[in-house]
Structure 1
Amino acid sequence: MDPMASVQSGSAHARLLQLLATGDAPRKPHNLPCFAERLSRLFGLGDTMSLDAATAFRSRQPGMNQEAVFEQLTKELSNIRRALRRKIGRYGEEVEAGDSVTAETYLNAWLVLQRKVAASSRQLRDKVRKAMKDHNQDLARLAELDSVFDHTMASYTSQCFSHISKVLEQRFHSLQPSSDSPPETGHTPDDWLHRYCEDSQNLLLAELDVRLEPVLGLLEACHNEVNHSP
């Protein structure tokens, strides 16, 4: 099973951070608490109780072999990623050319794509969790744990991804030439806009991989369970 051969564990997250760091985003201090401590700050008392219940979760149904469903979902993951990459690759084409080029026009088009990426990955993740709960107790428990983590971190995740549009807005204004400055020698007037669109596409491609990593991880667990079950 290799639906996303170009995405290795941890690489998508690192790539997104690297792309953000090349813009005008404020740099974070290096003396942050360890990952476990930062993660624990996101869990309140209610979340901790939900996590404890998920750890002890037992499905009320006997379960049925979902190997064929897992295979179909793996193909669906590849198809969704391929389709979204094509859409992202056409970013900027839908914006009508005119004398007035504004950051708002391009940001709105980018946000439409970002919402599509978020919705598609969320829907697929829900489908994978449902199939896991229908398979056996072990995968049902893992699906329940993933659901708790997903719900608990939803607000924090949304806040982090919303920051990308602010970085892009800053990027737009930093690349946009002033009205009284002639284009650089050897460059056409639209070169800066082409560069901005490329930067926007790269950030969204990295976000796509980050959002699909949990789905990929769940599917890998499903295939491991199927292959190692007697």
Structure 2
Amino acid sequence: MAKPQHRPPLPGPAFIRLLAEFADGQGTPTSPDLSDRLSQWVDWNRAVALSRALDGRVPPPPAEAVAFDAAEAAECVRVRSVLAAAIVQQPDPPKPGATDDATAIRQRVVALQRSMQANTGRLRGRLRDMLSLAGPELGRLAEVDAVMEQTLSPREQALLATVPALLAQHFERLRNAALPTHVEGESADAMPPDEGWRLRFNHAMQSVLLAELDVRFQPIEGLLAALRPR
């Protein structure tokens, strides 16, 4: 009897590991060198902009910028809690007669991703404005973060856009695997389908989106760390 093949765990953040599982383990077992990957993402125009942000004059803070305080830190916590609550909210069960397919899954994931992107982008911009008031060194950090967001955001969004399709495919695999297998001589009514697959899928979808939320909040956590008094 052949022994089952066990894939070694994929190294890296939880978000990447979860997506690799949904892609039938097609992720590469080793990550490319970071400098090589960044060289593919950053063209020479962006590299020049980043160099200027590191070495050049710090631009003045925006006129509408306000100083960082505990209320802003609390707002970041509140927004993250609201986004996480929306992710773990159980979707409504399909209505009788409604088509139960992966389209609704894709639409739900896209809506949650758009909400995450809009809210984290707003927080990140506000924190940068506050950082620009905290002195030239922190102002330079704010400028570097702005350039990095402009540089990496298009590729990041293109990669995150694959998540709805991966989750929809996982939904269909679980649903198809739960369909009863007809045995000759037995009535199909005697073989109830496995109803636990939907709960397993909802848990998997929540795990992926919460991991994505962690990824989207990493720059915000970095800016918060720079703004907090030492």
Give the TM interval when normalised to the shorter protein: 0.7 to 0.9
Q: Distance in 2 between matches of 1:199 and 1:146?
A: 32
Partner SS, residue 177 of structure 1: helix
Higher relative contact order (CA 8 A, sep 6+): 1
Aligned to 1:59: 59
Cα deviation digits, residues 167-215 of structure 1 (max 9, x gap) = 11210110113766479x9986532122212111111100001100110
- 1:134, distance to aligned residue in structure 2 (A): 1.9
Q: Distance in 2 between matches of 1:142 and 1:218?
A: 9
- 1:26, distance to aligned residue in structure 2 (A): 5.3
Number of positions where the alignment pairs a residue of Structure 1 with one of Structure 2: 208
Larger radius of gyration: 2
Give unpaired runs (5+ residues) of structure 2.
Answer: 1-11, 183-187
- Whichever residue aligns with residue 96 of structure 2, its letter is G
Aligned to 1:106: 105
Query: Residue 59 of structure 1 contacts residue 137 of structure 1 at CA under 8 Å; is this kept in 2?
Result: no
Alignment of 1:25-44 (within 5 A): 25=24, 27-30=26-29, 32-44=31-43
Coordinate RMSD, CA, aligned: 2.7
Q: TM-score, normalised by structure 1?
A: 0.80
Is 1:97 aligned with 2:103? no
Q: Distance in 1 between matches of 2:129 and 2:24?
A: 38
Query: Residue 134 of structure 1 contacts residue 140 of structure 1 at CA under 8 Å; is this kept in 2?
Result: yes
Aligned to 1:194: 199
- Whichever residue aligns with residue 92 of structure 1, its letter is P
Is 1:71 aligned with 2:76? no
Q: 1:217 aligns with which of 210, 215, 222?
A: 222
Cα deviation digits, residues 116-173 of structure 1 (max 9, x gap) = 1111111110110011112211111001000111100111101111121121121011
Percent identity between the two aligned chains: 24
- Whichever residue aligns with residue 219 of structure 1, its letter is L
